[in-house]
Amino acid sequence: MRVPLSWLKEYVELPSDSEAEVAWLAERLTLAGLEVAIIEYIGREAEARSSSHSRSRSRSRRGLHSESEWKGEETEHEHGALSWEGIYIGEVLEVRPHPNAEKLVVAVVDYGKGPVESVTGAPNVRVGESGYKVAVAEAGARLIDPYAEERKFIKVEPTTIRGVHSEVVLCSEKELGISDDHSGILILDQEEAEVGRPLADLLSDVVLEFDLTPNLARCFSIIGVAREVAALTGQRFKTPEVEWHPQGPPISDQVEVEILDPDLCARYTAALIGGVIIGPSPFWMRRRLILAGMRPINNIVDITNYVMLEWGQPLHAFDYDKLYGPDGNGKRIIVRRARRGEKIVTLDGIERDLHEEMLLITDPEGPIAIAGVMGGLESEVTESTKNILLESASFSNTNNRRTAQALRLVSEASSRFGRGVPPELTIPALKRAAELMRELAGGEIASGIVDVYPVKQPEIEIDLDPQEVERLLGLALPVEEIEEVLRRLEFECRPKDNKRIMVKVPWHRLDVSCPADLVEEVARIIGYDKIPTTLMADPLPPQHRDRTLELEDKIKDILVGCGLTEVITYSLTSLELVGRLELSGKEVEDELYLRVANPLSREREYLRRSLLPGLLETVAENLKHRERVAIFELGRVYLPNPNPNPKGKGPEAGERPHPQELRRLGLVISGPGSPLSWHEKPREMDFFDLKGIIEELLLRLGLKAFRFVRAEEPPFHSGRAARLLIEEEELGLLGELHPQVRENFELEGPTLAAELDLEAILEIAIALSGPVGRYRPLPQFPAVLRDLAIVVDEAIPAERVARVIREAGGELLQELVLFDLYQGPPIPQGKKSLAFRLRLQAEDRTLTDEEADGLCSQIERRLAEELEAELRK
């Protein structure tokens, strides 16, 4: 929000424009919550460079001036403001063609020192036209170079261009630092501009640029900022007087308005201005719009923008004659939600698809505007427009914000509606704009105003206890001082009893609804620096452990200790990336994924269902720079609910529940399994490297009753994948990627990946550890080791054999390790030999050989009974 001080002064007395006074005002506003990000001095230089708040913007947009017009000495790059020393108001006396260049003209101007010539290529300086006032830069003056990519100054010097002497330069807005417009020279106001006066006397100004937070909706206007300045400085706020001079026939005979969705439109007002003449706005209005950061277009559009900046109420002007009227005369405006399949071509020429929660302004034939966002092209004001239907309304801030985001149409109007515009503001802004159209466009205002107000703005009165002010601020203030501060902000105060006061909230303060809000207002105005510093007197409450966070940190530490690096990948993905995991080559069904309503790009359009695509993409990129990559991620995946029922409402009617959001742990490793060495051959990482990492993780978390079961699941290689189970609960998949998937991700060597159910792992680990962990003493008695070699059918997996051994071994079997696998003579064909090492140990005694041998015999019998296993001889 840019606020020129010359405009602000119309509504509140300000200190002088000196650097010290402006800096003080900017600091006071900033401390009150209205952060002044930039102080920009227009036409002044020295004070701007000494101001701690002052910064100026780099302007780089190219215009249409001829490059041959510039002949001067370039100065160093600077970032201060531009001084207009040596720049005067001049009058064009004559314009004649350049004898040697078709695109150039020779203008004769008088700026108080006699007629001089200037060669220019500005398109608005035409042969035969004269008598208008311009800004003239004489030799030695400094201007902004309009052709430089970065902001820099250039000194004007007399020169000869194509054989014609050019003594001075006719300046554009960009060269003067007023705006980025370099499409032509600046044409000054004929009445106010006096030939020979320094340009700074007419146009110099100071602009405060605010960086406002969303809760300061009231300050997105000149009048709103003026109210704040008046309260902070103790000056009187000059309440704007709105004139109203209707002359035409009653508007009620010509316009009818109906609001079908009052929950989205609290108030809709309209005025009719007939017989307007479209043309340029007067210089004073164009200048204010430029200083406020808006580009002038024509008088009608400029007036709506001007009133929006002045009052904070967005307006829209329709071409009345382009609206549909059922009887050919009167027009009917309908404010309603969009219907399924409706579209509208907006003012920017783009056809927009509308969904059913968007609010529209329509006539009986269809949409003419997206409420509070942008108008439609079919009802646009053009040069041939004669009659204006002016809209001033109050729309739902939440709905407007969602509509603007969904359509990617964030504008000055939608940014204000999205923060909240009070319904009571519609009438004064409407009258102000209509009067300006009468004065500046020659229009005639129809008698009356259409005012449909189905949702009245409630009056809010708050019971305030001065002791609450002291409690929250730590500062004892007299009741009189509290009332004085609130009255300066236009709150009405009346005593309730000897201690309390009742405070009526003004209509323009939508952000105040409770006593704490009033306390904040008091603190802002008296100054936060007045609040004393006090130490906390209450003891800190005891901090409870969060076992989930502790275990997550432990998981990260364990995996880092295993040589992996933590990464964080995007939660948003694309169907193309997800499709690389598929072996069938079929396209991924988008119904399986949650789509973002307003994606930033095609690559970030859907919420992921798996961590693996992002991890594999990260591995592929990193393998371009290193041989070995081992990464992990603790992240979330998102699954749509499988049972939608959009017809009903409420859980009993089958309302669609929220999508599922699940925590997962993903791991991917690829590259050499051992460092390059002279004493062993290099190898690639394989399934057992990944399996070993997962086993280490689970054991360190206290999970021992886990097992791996062979799996045949895409995207893994057949015979090289497994499911992780604890009891009968599946916790995830791990394995080596299928070669086709590796090719899809451009991975050359074997790549191992796993995705585990993090929530289930954490739940089991917390249950096993108890509320404060479980202590187990070190064993006091020695262990007994036994080796067991058996022959089984080659189709029986080793995991199944190990499970039988653990069940038969019971509590005395503390550890079981498979250390040998053999097939070949003398083992019969179709058989394999498995060798296990058993560690047997009791907590209360030393096991005897007889006990150990008896347990081994028991294990052998169980193996023979269940698996037909034989001892290897």
pLDDT digit string (tens) for 838-871?
999 998 999 999 999 999 999 999 999 999 999 9
689 and 667 assigned to the same domain: yes
- The whole-angstrom separation of Cα 259 and Cα 303 is 26
CA distances, 333 to each of 146, 356, 359, 399, 766 (Å): 46, 19, 13, 20, 63
Q: If you search the block for the tokens 């506003």, which residue do you land on?
A: 29
On whether both 813 and 864 belong to a single domain, the answer is yes
| pTM of the predicted model as reported, rounded to 2 decimal places | 0.70
CATH code where residue 160 lies: 2.40.50.140
Contact status, residue 661 vs residue 638, Cβ threshold 8 Å: yes
The DSSP H or E segment spanning 632 is: strand 629-639
* Whether pLDDT at 46 is above 60: no
The encoded tokens of residue 395 equal: 């729309």
- Give the whole-number percent of the chain exceeding pLDDT 70: 92
Identify the domain boundary among 415, 431, 452: 452
Domain assignment present for residue 56? The answer is: no
Residue 828: per-residue pLDDT: 92
Same structural domain, 73 and 36:
no
Q: Which residue has the higher pLDDT, 853 or 73?
A: 853
pLDDT-derived band at 656, boundaries 50, 70, 90 = low
643 confidence band (pLDDT: 50, 70, 90): low
Nearest to 577 by CA among 741, 714, 361: 741
Counts for the chain of helices (H) and strands (E), in that order:
22, 43
What is residue 775's predicted lDDT score, i.e. its pLDDT? 67
743 and 680 within one domain: yes
**If pLDDT is split at 50, 70 and 90, which confidence band does 465 have?**
very high
At residue 577, the 3 state secondary structure works out as helix
Looking at the predicted structure, is the pLDDT value of residue 540 above 70? yes
In a domain, residue 578? The reply is: yes
Instruction: Give CA–CA dist 389/372, Å, rounded.
Output: 15
Looking at 38-47, 246-255, 367-376, which range is the least confident one? 38-47
Is 378 a domain residue? yes
Together in a domain, 628 and 504? no
Domain CATH for 486: 3.30.56.10
Q: What is the pLDDT of residue 79?
A: 39
What span, in angstroms and rounded, lies between the C-alpha atoms of 587 and 570?
21
358 and 333 together in one domain = yes
Taking CA atoms, 479 is separated from 469, 512, 514, 522, 576, in Å, by 10, 20, 18, 11, 67
Residues 790 and 843 in one domain: yes
59 vs 263: which has the higher pLDDT: 263
* pLDDT in the model for residue 657: 66
CB atoms within 10 A of CB 16: 8
Domain that holds residue 215: 2-43+209-233
pLDDT at 774: 62
- For the stretch 171-219, pLDDT in tens is 998 898 887 888 899 888 877 889 999 998 888 889 999 999 988 999 9
CA 395 to CA 420: how far, in whole Å? 8
Both structure tokens of 833? 């030999």
Is residue 815 a part of any domain in this protein?
yes
What percent of the chain is predicted at pLDDT more than 90?
68
Q: How many Cα atoms sit within 13 Å of 382 on the Cβ side? A: 9
Is the CA virtual torsion 554, 559, 565, 568 positive or negative? negative
CATH code of the domain in which 397 resides = 3.50.40.10
Question: How far is residue 423 from each of residues 429, 682, 704, measured CA to CA in Å?
Answer: 11, 76, 66
The residue count for the chain: 873
Same domain flag for 328 and 370: yes
Q: Inform me whether the pLDDT recorded for 407 exceeds 60.
A: yes
Edge-to-edge order in the sheet of strand 255-259: 255-259, 331-337, 359-363, 366-370, 374-375
Note whether 22 and 92 are same-domain residues.
Answer: no
pLDDT tens track for 266-288? 999 999 999 999 998 998 998 89
Neighbours of 578 (CB within 10 A): 20
Q: How confident is the model at residue 695, as a pLDDT?
A: 94
- Is residue 582 predicted with pLDDT exceeding 90? no
- Whole-number pLDDT of residue 73: 41
Examine the domain organization and report whether 556 and 631 are in the same domain: yes
- CB distance 715 to 583 below 8 Å: yes
- Asked if residue 710 and residue 581 are part of one domain, the reply reads yes
Q: Is residue 778 part of a domain?
A: no
Tell me, yes or no, whether 116 lies in a domain. Answer: yes
Residue 538 inside a domain? The answer is no
Residue 148 CB contacts under 8 Å (≥ 6 apart), including other chains: 60
- 687: its two tokens: 């399934």
How far is 402 from 815, CA to CA, in rounded Å?
A: 60
CATH number at residue 644: 3.30.930.10
> Is 239 inside a domain boundary?
no
Considering the chain, what is the average pLDDT of its residues? 88
DSSP β-ladder status, 331-337 and 255-259: parallel
Largest CA distance in the chain: 126
Q: Which long-range contacts (CB under 8 A, 24 or more apart) does 300-303 make?
A: 300/276, 300/381, 300/385, 300/388, 300/437, 300/441, 301/381, 303/433, 303/436, 303/437, 303/440, 303/441
For 477-527, what is each residue's pLDDT tens digit? 999 999 999 999 999 999 988 789 999 999 999 999 999 999 999 999 999
In the predicted structure, residue 462 carries a pLDDT above the cut 90 = yes
Q: Read off the amino acid at residue 75.
A: T
State how many domains the chain has.
6
Residue 35 sits in the same domain as residue 146: no
